[in-house]
Structure 1
Amino acid sequence: MVRAIILVKSPKKLIAARLRKITSISDSFPTSGQFDAVAIVDVQELSEIKEVATVIQKISGVERTETMVEVQ
């Protein structure tokens, strides 16, 4: 299992709720600061994280993302 955190910049309200609808995202919540939401991603393979990030980036209103992969 590979876990990552994807930070999302989007002025759209309810972006965290939209993120939770993506299959590989186990949790998402709004934040204050430079990014507007955080998505917790749990996948089987490292390569799947890029696929999830691409899906997020295609959501209308998403300006940018930043991905951090858990290191064990």
Structure 2
Amino acid sequence: MVRAIILVKSPKKLIAARLKKIPSVADSFPTSGQFDAVAIIDVKQLIQIKEVANQIQKISGVDRTETMVEVQ
């Protein structure tokens, strides 16, 4: 299992709730600061992280994302 955190910049207030609808998103919550929401994702293979990030970037109102992969 590979875990990653995707930071999301979006002016939409309910962006965290929309992120939870993506199947690989284990958790999502709004944040304050430079980014507006965090999505924690769990996937089987590293390549799937890019696929999930692309799904998030296609959500209307998402300005940008930044992905951090858990290192063990």
Q: Deviations over 1:26-72 (max 9, x none)?
A: 00000000000000000000000000000000000000000000000
Question: What aligned pairs does 1:55-70 form with structure 2 within 5 A after superposition?
Answer: 55-70=55-70
SS at match of 1:48: helix
Q: Distance in 1 between matches of 2:60 and 2:13?
A: 11
Hey, what does 1:43 align to over in structure 2?
43
Runs of 4+ in 1 over 6 A off after TM superposition: none
SS in 1 for 2:42: strand
Deviation at 1:13, TM superposition (A): 1.1
Q: How many residues align?
A: 72
* Percentage of matched positions with identical amino acids: 83
The answer for the alignment partner of 1:17 in structure 2 is 17
CA RMSD of aligned residues (A): 0.2
Uncovered stretches (5+) of structure 1, i.e. residues with no partner: none
For the residue of structure 2 that corresponds to 1:18, the secondary structure is helix
TM-score (norm 2): 0.99
Q: Secondary structure at the match of 2:48?
A: helix
